[in-house]
Amino acid sequence: MASVDYAIQARVRQLLARHWVRAEGLVVGTTEGVVVLKGPLAVEPGGGTRLDDPLQRARFLQRLRTEVAAIPGVREVVLEMGSDLGTED
């Protein structure tokens, strides 16, 4: 993995933390500027996003895609995130 990909991946992980996305089971991969997020999508309690609401879920995923795509060096964003809707402890 190129140093640019490492930097992108670090920025993606910061972004996920800022949006309270649970990292368990979520794979974050970056190759040649292509970012892949794969696994269950869940938000920590208190994160403010209700993923069980289809409209809020769609908006959240679009915002996530847009913010990841805005990271310098990102050429493409692939979201393969399942529907783990657990937000309780």
pLDDT in tens, 3-61: 899 999 999 999 999 989 888 889 999 999 999 999 988 888 776 777 778 888 889 89
84: nearest Cα among 23, 28, 14: 23
Write down the architecture of domain 3-43+56-82 according to CATH. 2-Layer Sandwich (3.30)
Structural contact between residues 33 and 5, judged by C-beta atoms closer than 8 angstroms: yes
Residues in the chain: 89
